A and B are shown apart, each in its own frame.
Chain A
Amino acid sequence: MKRFSLVLSLLAVSALAVAPLAYAAKFNKKVEIGQAAPDFKGLKGTDGKEYSLDGFKDAKALVLVFTCNRCPMAVAYEDRMIDLQKKYGEKGVQLLAINCNTGEGLDAMKERADSKGFNFPYVLDESQQSGKDFGATVTPHVFILDGERKIAYMGSLDDNMDDSKVQKHHVADALAAILDGKAPVTTETRQFGCGIRYQ
Protein backbone atom coordinates (compact mmCIF):
# COMPACT_ATOMS: atom_id res chain seq x y z
CA MET A 1 0.00 0.00 0.00
CA LYS A 2 2.87 2.31 0.90
CA ARG A 3 4.51 1.57 -2.39
CA PHE A 4 1.27 2.33 -4.18
CA SER A 5 1.03 5.71 -2.43
CA LEU A 6 4.61 6.44 -3.36
CA VAL A 7 3.90 5.68 -7.00
CA LEU A 8 0.85 7.94 -6.87
CA SER A 9 2.87 10.74 -5.31
CA LEU A 10 5.58 10.39 -7.91
CA LEU A 11 2.96 10.47 -10.64
CA ALA A 12 1.42 13.61 -9.17
CA VAL A 13 4.80 15.33 -8.91
CA SER A 14 5.74 14.43 -12.48
CA ALA A 15 2.33 15.67 -13.70
CA LEU A 16 3.04 19.01 -12.05
CA ALA A 17 6.48 19.10 -13.59
CA VAL A 18 5.17 18.80 -17.13
CA ALA A 19 2.26 21.18 -16.57
CA PRO A 20 2.85 24.45 -18.38
CA LEU A 21 4.07 27.02 -15.89
CA ALA A 22 3.66 30.00 -18.19
CA TYR A 23 0.46 32.00 -18.15
CA ALA A 24 -1.79 30.70 -20.90
CA ALA A 25 -3.42 33.54 -22.82
CA LYS A 26 -7.18 33.48 -22.84
CA PHE A 27 -7.84 35.67 -25.86
CA ASN A 28 -4.58 35.44 -27.79
CA LYS A 29 -3.37 32.40 -29.70
CA LYS A 30 0.07 33.74 -30.43
CA VAL A 31 1.63 35.42 -27.41
CA GLU A 32 1.45 35.25 -23.63
CA ILE A 33 1.79 37.71 -20.80
CA GLY A 34 5.37 37.90 -19.58
CA GLN A 35 7.01 36.82 -22.80
CA ALA A 36 9.45 39.01 -24.71
CA ALA A 37 7.70 41.13 -27.31
CA PRO A 38 8.13 39.95 -30.90
CA ASP A 39 10.57 42.16 -32.76
CA PHE A 40 9.63 44.50 -35.59
CA LYS A 41 11.79 46.68 -37.77
CA GLY A 42 11.64 49.41 -40.39
CA LEU A 43 7.93 50.24 -40.25
CA LYS A 44 7.22 53.41 -42.21
CA GLY A 45 5.56 56.24 -40.30
CA THR A 46 3.28 58.94 -41.63
CA ASP A 47 6.02 61.38 -40.57
CA GLY A 48 8.46 59.88 -43.09
CA LYS A 49 10.55 58.14 -40.40
CA GLU A 50 11.07 54.43 -39.89
CA TYR A 51 10.26 52.75 -36.60
CA SER A 52 11.58 49.60 -34.95
CA LEU A 53 11.06 48.01 -31.55
CA ASP A 54 14.64 48.79 -30.51
CA GLY A 55 14.15 52.45 -31.38
CA PHE A 56 12.23 53.14 -28.18
CA LYS A 57 14.97 52.37 -25.70
CA ASP A 58 14.16 55.30 -23.42
CA ALA A 59 10.46 54.53 -23.05
CA LYS A 60 9.49 53.19 -19.62
CA ALA A 61 6.61 51.43 -21.31
CA LEU A 62 5.61 51.07 -24.95
CA VAL A 63 1.93 50.95 -25.86
CA LEU A 64 1.34 49.30 -29.24
CA VAL A 65 -2.10 49.85 -30.69
CA PHE A 66 -3.03 47.90 -33.79
CA THR A 67 -5.49 50.23 -35.44
CA CYS A 68 -6.64 51.48 -38.83
CA ASN A 69 -8.33 54.37 -40.57
CA ARG A 70 -11.72 52.95 -41.43
CA CYS A 71 -12.97 50.84 -38.56
CA PRO A 72 -15.56 52.83 -36.58
CA MET A 73 -14.43 51.15 -33.37
CA ALA A 74 -10.81 52.17 -33.98
CA VAL A 75 -11.90 55.69 -34.90
CA ALA A 76 -13.93 55.88 -31.68
CA TYR A 77 -10.70 55.28 -29.74
CA GLU A 78 -8.49 57.85 -31.51
CA ASP A 79 -9.15 60.67 -29.06
CA ARG A 80 -8.49 58.32 -26.16
CA MET A 81 -5.15 57.34 -27.71
CA ILE A 82 -4.21 61.02 -28.01
CA ASP A 83 -5.22 61.59 -24.38
CA LEU A 84 -3.16 58.61 -23.21
CA GLN A 85 -0.05 59.89 -24.98
CA LYS A 86 -0.66 63.35 -23.55
CA LYS A 87 -1.10 62.08 -20.00
CA TYR A 88 1.51 59.31 -19.88
CA GLY A 89 4.00 60.69 -22.43
CA GLU A 90 5.41 63.08 -19.88
CA LYS A 91 5.90 60.12 -17.54
CA GLY A 92 8.04 58.30 -20.06
CA VAL A 93 5.42 56.19 -21.87
CA GLN A 94 5.34 56.02 -25.67
CA LEU A 95 2.35 55.00 -27.78
CA LEU A 96 2.87 53.56 -31.25
CA ALA A 97 -0.07 53.01 -33.61
CA ILE A 98 0.44 50.24 -36.15
CA ASN A 99 -1.78 49.78 -39.18
CA CYS A 100 -1.45 46.34 -40.74
CA ASN A 101 -4.75 46.41 -42.60
CA THR A 102 -4.68 45.99 -46.32
CA GLY A 103 -5.85 48.66 -48.74
CA GLU A 104 -5.50 51.81 -46.63
CA GLY A 105 -2.00 53.01 -47.52
CA LEU A 106 0.38 55.55 -46.07
CA ASP A 107 -1.19 58.56 -47.82
CA ALA A 108 -4.61 57.96 -46.29
CA MET A 109 -2.96 57.30 -42.94
CA LYS A 110 -1.01 60.55 -43.17
CA GLU A 111 -4.21 62.43 -43.88
CA ARG A 112 -5.84 60.80 -40.85
CA ALA A 113 -2.88 61.49 -38.56
CA ASP A 114 -2.76 65.13 -39.65
CA SER A 115 -6.49 65.79 -39.41
CA LYS A 116 -6.73 64.21 -35.96
CA GLY A 117 -3.45 65.67 -34.75
CA PHE A 118 -1.94 62.35 -33.64
CA ASN A 119 0.73 63.01 -31.02
CA PHE A 120 2.29 59.55 -31.52
CA PRO A 121 3.84 57.79 -34.52
CA TYR A 122 1.41 56.05 -36.88
CA VAL A 123 3.15 53.37 -38.90
CA LEU A 124 2.20 51.05 -41.74
CA ASP A 125 3.11 47.38 -41.76
CA GLU A 126 2.35 46.26 -45.28
CA SER A 127 3.78 42.82 -44.58
CA GLN A 128 1.25 42.44 -41.71
CA GLN A 129 4.01 40.53 -39.91
CA SER A 130 3.88 42.51 -36.66
CA GLY A 131 0.14 41.89 -36.36
CA LYS A 132 0.62 38.19 -37.04
CA ASP A 133 3.51 37.93 -34.55
CA PHE A 134 1.54 39.62 -31.77
CA GLY A 135 -1.65 37.71 -32.59
CA ALA A 136 -3.53 40.97 -33.15
CA THR A 137 -7.02 40.09 -34.33
CA VAL A 138 -9.03 43.32 -34.23
CA THR A 139 -8.65 47.07 -34.41
CA PRO A 140 -8.05 48.44 -31.88
CA HIS A 141 -5.96 45.77 -30.15
CA VAL A 142 -3.54 46.99 -27.48
CA PHE A 143 -0.27 45.50 -26.20
CA ILE A 144 1.67 47.14 -23.38
CA LEU A 145 5.37 46.32 -23.27
CA ASP A 146 7.08 47.03 -19.98
CA GLY A 147 10.57 48.48 -19.49
CA GLU A 148 12.12 45.11 -20.37
CA ARG A 149 9.87 44.92 -23.43
CA LYS A 150 7.94 42.00 -22.09
CA ILE A 151 4.22 41.87 -22.73
CA ALA A 152 2.61 43.21 -19.56
CA TYR A 153 -0.97 43.68 -20.78
CA MET A 154 -2.98 42.87 -23.90
CA GLY A 155 -6.57 43.38 -24.96
CA SER A 156 -8.85 46.38 -25.18
CA LEU A 157 -7.92 49.96 -24.33
CA ASP A 158 -10.93 50.22 -22.02
CA ASP A 159 -14.29 48.51 -21.77
CA ASN A 160 -16.68 50.59 -23.91
CA MET A 161 -16.82 52.02 -27.42
CA ASP A 162 -18.73 54.98 -25.99
CA ASP A 163 -16.19 56.87 -23.90
CA SER A 164 -18.91 58.37 -21.69
CA LYS A 165 -19.77 54.84 -20.51
CA VAL A 166 -16.32 53.50 -19.73
CA GLN A 167 -16.03 51.83 -16.35
CA LYS A 168 -12.72 50.01 -16.64
CA HIS A 169 -9.68 51.92 -17.87
CA HIS A 170 -7.54 48.86 -18.55
CA VAL A 171 -4.60 50.51 -20.29
CA ALA A 172 -4.42 53.53 -17.99
CA ASP A 173 -4.56 51.23 -14.94
CA ALA A 174 -1.85 48.94 -16.33
CA LEU A 175 0.40 51.91 -17.14
CA ALA A 176 -0.06 53.35 -13.68
CA ALA A 177 1.00 50.02 -12.18
CA ILE A 178 4.04 49.67 -14.45
CA LEU A 179 5.19 53.22 -13.71
CA ASP A 180 4.82 52.36 -10.04
CA GLY A 181 7.14 49.39 -10.51
CA LYS A 182 4.32 46.88 -10.12
CA ALA A 183 2.72 44.29 -12.37
CA PRO A 184 -0.72 45.27 -13.69
CA VAL A 185 -3.62 43.66 -11.82
CA THR A 186 -5.51 42.96 -15.05
CA THR A 187 -3.13 41.59 -17.64
CA GLU A 188 -5.49 40.40 -20.34
CA THR A 189 -8.97 41.37 -21.55
CA ARG A 190 -11.08 40.42 -24.53
CA GLN A 191 -10.21 42.64 -27.45
CA PHE A 192 -13.17 43.85 -29.50
CA GLY A 193 -13.52 45.86 -32.69
CA CYS A 194 -13.20 45.19 -36.41
CA GLY A 195 -11.48 42.00 -37.51
CA ILE A 196 -8.03 42.42 -39.05
CA ARG A 197 -7.90 40.44 -42.26
CA TYR A 198 -4.63 38.75 -43.03
CA GLN A 199 -3.42 37.81 -46.49
Chain B
Amino acid sequence: MNLKKVDGSPFRAVLFLTLAVTFGCAPPPNSRSPAPVVRPAPSPEVRLRIANEKDLAELVTAQRGRVVLVDCWATWCGPCVKQFPHTVELHRRLADRGLTVISLSCDDPDNQEAVLKFLKRQQATFDNLLSRYGASEEGFNAFNIKTGALPYYLLYDRQGKLREDLGSGTRIEGLKPEELDKAVEQLLAEPAPQD
Protein backbone atom coordinates (compact mmCIF):
# COMPACT_ATOMS: atom_id res chain seq x y z
CA MET B 1 0.00 0.00 0.00
CA ASN B 2 1.29 3.42 -0.90
CA LEU B 3 0.37 5.73 1.98
CA LYS B 4 0.75 8.87 -0.07
CA LYS B 5 -2.12 7.82 -2.25
CA VAL B 6 -4.63 8.13 0.63
CA ASP B 7 -4.57 11.88 0.78
CA GLY B 8 -1.02 12.89 0.27
CA SER B 9 -0.20 13.42 3.98
CA PRO B 10 1.63 10.65 5.85
CA PHE B 11 0.29 11.92 9.24
CA ARG B 12 -3.27 11.61 8.08
CA ALA B 13 -2.51 8.23 6.67
CA VAL B 14 -1.19 7.05 10.02
CA LEU B 15 -4.28 8.45 11.78
CA PHE B 16 -6.52 6.69 9.30
CA LEU B 17 -4.72 3.42 9.79
CA THR B 18 -4.81 3.78 13.58
CA LEU B 19 -8.56 4.36 13.53
CA ALA B 20 -9.07 1.51 11.13
CA VAL B 21 -7.11 -0.86 13.33
CA THR B 22 -8.77 0.36 16.52
CA PHE B 23 -12.36 0.27 15.38
CA GLY B 24 -12.28 -1.65 12.15
CA CYS B 25 -13.00 -5.03 13.69
CA ALA B 26 -14.77 -3.89 16.86
CA PRO B 27 -18.50 -4.47 17.27
CA PRO B 28 -20.73 -1.47 16.53
CA PRO B 29 -20.72 1.02 19.47
CA ASN B 30 -24.43 0.53 20.20
CA SER B 31 -24.52 -3.24 19.85
CA ARG B 32 -26.80 -4.66 22.58
CA SER B 33 -24.86 -7.86 23.33
CA PRO B 34 -21.19 -7.40 22.77
CA ALA B 35 -19.40 -10.72 22.36
CA PRO B 36 -17.42 -11.52 25.51
CA VAL B 37 -13.72 -11.29 25.01
CA VAL B 38 -12.23 -14.70 25.70
CA ARG B 39 -8.52 -14.61 26.15
CA PRO B 40 -6.75 -17.96 26.25
CA ALA B 41 -4.57 -18.44 29.33
CA PRO B 42 -1.01 -17.68 28.34
CA SER B 43 0.76 -20.99 27.88
CA PRO B 44 3.88 -21.26 30.03
CA GLU B 45 7.01 -20.86 28.00
CA VAL B 46 9.20 -23.88 27.39
CA ARG B 47 12.77 -23.05 28.36
CA LEU B 48 16.05 -24.90 28.34
CA ARG B 49 19.22 -24.11 30.23
CA ILE B 50 22.66 -25.63 30.22
CA ALA B 51 23.47 -27.13 33.60
CA ASN B 52 25.90 -29.23 35.57
CA GLU B 53 25.30 -31.67 38.42
CA LYS B 54 25.42 -28.84 41.00
CA ASP B 55 22.61 -26.98 39.22
CA LEU B 56 20.50 -30.12 39.23
CA ALA B 57 21.19 -30.72 42.94
CA GLU B 58 20.15 -27.15 43.75
CA LEU B 59 16.97 -27.51 41.77
CA VAL B 60 16.10 -30.73 43.56
CA THR B 61 16.88 -29.22 46.99
CA ALA B 62 14.59 -26.27 46.24
CA GLN B 63 11.73 -28.73 45.73
CA ARG B 64 11.90 -30.13 49.27
CA GLY B 65 8.46 -31.33 50.29
CA ARG B 66 7.72 -32.53 46.77
CA VAL B 67 8.62 -35.69 44.95
CA VAL B 68 11.05 -34.99 42.09
CA LEU B 69 11.35 -37.03 38.91
CA VAL B 70 14.37 -36.36 36.69
CA ASP B 71 14.04 -37.76 33.18
CA CYS B 72 17.54 -38.19 31.70
CA TRP B 73 17.10 -38.42 27.96
CA ALA B 74 18.53 -37.37 24.58
CA THR B 75 17.17 -36.62 21.11
CA TRP B 76 19.46 -39.34 19.71
CA CYS B 77 17.91 -41.96 22.01
CA GLY B 78 14.89 -43.62 20.38
CA PRO B 79 13.32 -45.09 23.54
CA CYS B 80 13.76 -41.71 25.30
CA VAL B 81 11.89 -39.84 22.59
CA LYS B 82 9.17 -42.48 22.68
CA GLN B 83 8.78 -42.31 26.48
CA PHE B 84 9.04 -38.53 26.83
CA PRO B 85 5.29 -37.89 26.33
CA HIS B 86 4.69 -40.15 29.30
CA THR B 87 6.89 -37.90 31.44
CA VAL B 88 4.90 -34.86 30.26
CA GLU B 89 1.71 -36.71 31.11
CA LEU B 90 2.98 -37.52 34.63
CA HIS B 91 3.72 -33.82 35.14
CA ARG B 92 0.21 -32.82 34.04
CA ARG B 93 -1.51 -35.51 36.06
CA LEU B 94 0.49 -35.42 39.28
CA ALA B 95 1.88 -31.89 39.73
CA ASP B 96 -1.08 -31.00 41.95
CA ARG B 97 -0.37 -33.99 44.15
CA GLY B 98 3.23 -32.90 44.69
CA LEU B 99 5.26 -34.18 41.75
CA THR B 100 7.92 -31.96 40.22
CA VAL B 101 9.33 -33.06 36.88
CA ILE B 102 12.76 -32.03 35.58
CA SER B 103 14.18 -33.12 32.25
CA LEU B 104 17.91 -33.53 31.71
CA SER B 105 19.02 -33.83 28.12
CA CYS B 106 22.31 -35.60 27.49
CA ASP B 107 22.64 -34.08 24.03
CA ASP B 108 25.64 -32.04 23.06
CA PRO B 109 25.17 -28.36 24.05
CA ASP B 110 25.82 -27.52 20.37
CA ASN B 111 22.46 -29.18 19.62
CA GLN B 112 20.45 -27.09 22.04
CA GLU B 113 18.20 -25.69 19.33
CA ALA B 114 17.05 -29.17 18.31
CA VAL B 115 16.54 -30.09 21.97
CA LEU B 116 14.42 -26.99 22.62
CA LYS B 117 12.40 -27.61 19.48
CA PHE B 118 11.58 -31.12 20.68
CA LEU B 119 10.68 -29.87 24.18
CA LYS B 120 8.38 -27.21 22.72
CA ARG B 121 6.64 -29.75 20.57
CA GLN B 122 6.16 -31.89 23.65
CA GLN B 123 4.93 -28.85 25.63
CA ALA B 124 7.43 -29.66 28.35
CA THR B 125 6.53 -26.74 30.61
CA PHE B 126 8.72 -27.88 33.50
CA ASP B 127 12.42 -27.24 34.22
CA ASN B 128 14.46 -28.47 31.28
CA LEU B 129 18.21 -28.88 31.65
CA LEU B 130 20.85 -29.67 29.06
CA SER B 131 23.96 -31.38 30.40
CA ARG B 132 26.93 -29.10 29.89
CA TYR B 133 29.00 -32.25 29.34
CA GLY B 134 26.93 -33.43 26.36
CA ALA B 135 26.92 -37.12 25.52
CA SER B 136 30.15 -37.92 27.27
CA GLU B 137 31.66 -40.15 29.89
CA GLU B 138 32.06 -37.10 32.13
CA GLY B 139 28.34 -36.40 31.84
CA PHE B 140 27.25 -39.95 32.60
CA ASN B 141 29.59 -39.92 35.61
CA ALA B 142 28.62 -36.44 36.83
CA PHE B 143 24.91 -37.23 36.81
CA ASN B 144 25.56 -40.78 38.01
CA ILE B 145 23.70 -42.47 35.19
CA LYS B 146 24.86 -45.86 36.34
CA THR B 147 23.82 -47.97 33.38
CA GLY B 148 25.42 -45.60 30.87
CA ALA B 149 22.21 -45.94 28.87
CA LEU B 150 19.16 -43.75 28.45
CA PRO B 151 16.38 -43.18 29.29
CA TYR B 152 17.29 -43.11 32.95
CA TYR B 153 15.07 -41.78 35.70
CA LEU B 154 16.14 -40.36 39.05
CA LEU B 155 13.44 -40.24 41.66
CA TYR B 156 13.79 -38.15 44.83
CA ASP B 157 11.44 -38.37 47.81
CA ARG B 158 9.83 -35.43 49.62
CA GLN B 159 12.90 -35.16 51.87
CA GLY B 160 15.06 -34.60 48.80
CA LYS B 161 16.70 -38.01 49.08
CA LEU B 162 17.47 -40.02 45.94
CA ARG B 163 15.36 -43.12 46.37
CA GLU B 164 15.17 -44.75 42.97
CA ASP B 165 17.17 -44.82 39.79
CA LEU B 166 15.35 -46.57 37.04
CA GLY B 167 16.66 -47.55 33.65
CA SER B 168 15.85 -50.13 31.04
CA GLY B 169 18.97 -52.06 31.96
CA THR B 170 19.48 -54.99 29.62
CA ARG B 171 15.96 -56.37 29.87
CA ILE B 172 14.37 -57.19 26.56
CA GLU B 173 11.15 -55.38 27.44
CA GLY B 174 12.92 -52.23 28.64
CA LEU B 175 11.43 -50.11 31.41
CA LYS B 176 7.65 -50.15 31.41
CA PRO B 177 5.85 -46.85 32.06
CA GLU B 178 3.78 -48.64 34.71
CA GLU B 179 6.94 -49.35 36.70
CA LEU B 180 7.80 -45.67 36.71
CA ASP B 181 4.22 -44.73 37.68
CA LYS B 182 4.27 -47.18 40.55
CA ALA B 183 7.56 -45.82 41.92
CA VAL B 184 6.26 -42.23 41.66
CA GLU B 185 2.94 -43.11 43.35
CA GLN B 186 4.75 -44.83 46.20
CA LEU B 187 6.81 -41.74 46.97
CA LEU B 188 3.83 -39.40 46.59
CA ALA B 189 2.02 -41.45 49.24
CA GLU B 190 4.78 -40.75 51.77
CA PRO B 191 4.25 -37.83 54.18
CA ALA B 192 5.94 -34.50 53.60
CA PRO B 193 8.69 -33.41 56.04
CA GLN B 194 7.34 -31.72 59.20
CA ASP B 195 9.96 -28.98 59.58
Which residues of A does B touch, CB under 8 Å? Answer: 27, 70, 72-73, 102, 137-138, 156, 159-162, 165, 168, 189-199
* B: interface residue count bin: 20 to 34
Query: What residues on A are CB-neighbors of B174 within 8 Å?
Result: 195, 197
Query: What residues on A are CB-neighbors of B140 within 8 Å?
Result: 190, 192
Q: Do the beta carbons of B148 and A192 come within 8 Å of each other?
A: yes
**If the complex has contacts A192-B149, A194-B77, are A161 and B170 also in contact, measured as CB distance less than 8 A?**
no
**What sequence of 0s and 1s flags, for each residue 147-161 of chain B, a beta carbon within 8 Å of any chain A beta carbon?**
111000000000000
Q: Do the beta carbons of A137 and B148 come within 8 Å of each other?
A: yes
Nearest Cβ in chain A — how far from B154, in angstroms? 16
Q: Which of A165, A168, A191, A198 contacts B148 (CB 8 A)?
A: A191
Nearest Cβ in chain B — how far from A17, in angstroms? 32
Q: Do the beta carbons of A73 and B137 come within 8 Å of each other?
A: no
Q: Do the beta carbons of B137 and A190 come within 8 Å of each other?
A: yes
Q: How many residue pairs at the A-B interface have CB separations less than 8 Å?
A: 74
Q: Do the beta carbons of A73 and B135 come within 8 Å of each other?
A: yes
Residue among A156, A162, A196 with the highest chain B CB neighbour number at 10 A:
A162
**If the complex has contacts A162-B134, A165-B108, are A195 and B76 also in contact, measured as CB distance less than 8 A?**
no
Docked Cα-Cα span, A96 to B171, in Å, equals 25
Q: Do the beta carbons of B108 and A162 come within 8 Å of each other?
A: yes
Q: Do the beta carbons of B108 and A197 come within 8 Å of each other?
A: no
Q: Do the beta carbons of A197 and B168 come within 8 Å of each other?
A: yes
* Residue B25 lies at the interface, judged by CB distance under 8 Å to chain A: no
Query: What residues on B are CB-neighbors of A189 within 8 Å?
Result: 137
Query: What residues on B are CB-neighbors of A102 within 8 Å?
Result: 172
Q: Which of A165, A196, A197, A199 contacts B134 (CB 8 A)?
A: A165
**If the complex has contacts A162-B108, A198-B170, A198-B172, are A138 and B138 also in contact, measured as CB distance less than 8 A?**
no
Q: Do the beta carbons of B171 and A197 come within 8 Å of each other?
A: yes
Query: What residues on B are CB-neighbors of A156 within 8 Å?
Result: 137, 148
* Residue B141 lies at the interface, judged by CB distance under 8 Å to chain A: yes
Nearest Cβ in chain B — how far from A78, in angstroms? 14
The A interface is mostly helix, strand or loop, or mixed, namely loop
Q: Do the beta carbons of B136 and A159 come within 8 Å of each other?
A: yes
Docked Cα-Cα span, A72 to B135, in Å, equals 11
* Residue B98 lies at the interface, judged by CB distance under 8 Å to chain A: no
Instruction: Contacts A137-B169, A160-B134, A194-B77 known; list 7 others, CB within 8 Å.
Output: A138-B147, A192-B137, A192-B149, A193-B148, A195-B149, A198-B172, A199-B172
Docked Cα-Cα span, A194 to B82, in Å, equals 14
Query: What residues on A are CB-neighbors of B137 within 8 Å?
Result: 156, 159-160, 168, 189-190, 192
Docked Cα-Cα span, A199 to B170, in Å, equals 9
**If the complex has contacts A137-B149, A160-B136, A192-B137, are A72 and B77 also in contact, measured as CB distance less than 8 A?**
yes
Docked Cα-Cα span, A165 to B134, in Å, equals 10
Docked Cα-Cα span, A191 to B134, in Å, equals 15
Nearest Cβ in chain B — how far from A190, in angstroms? 5
Nearest Cβ in chain B — how far from A157, in angstroms? 10
Docked Cα-Cα span, A102 to B148, in Å, equals 20
Query: What residues on B are CB-neighbors of A27 within 8 Å?
Result: 148
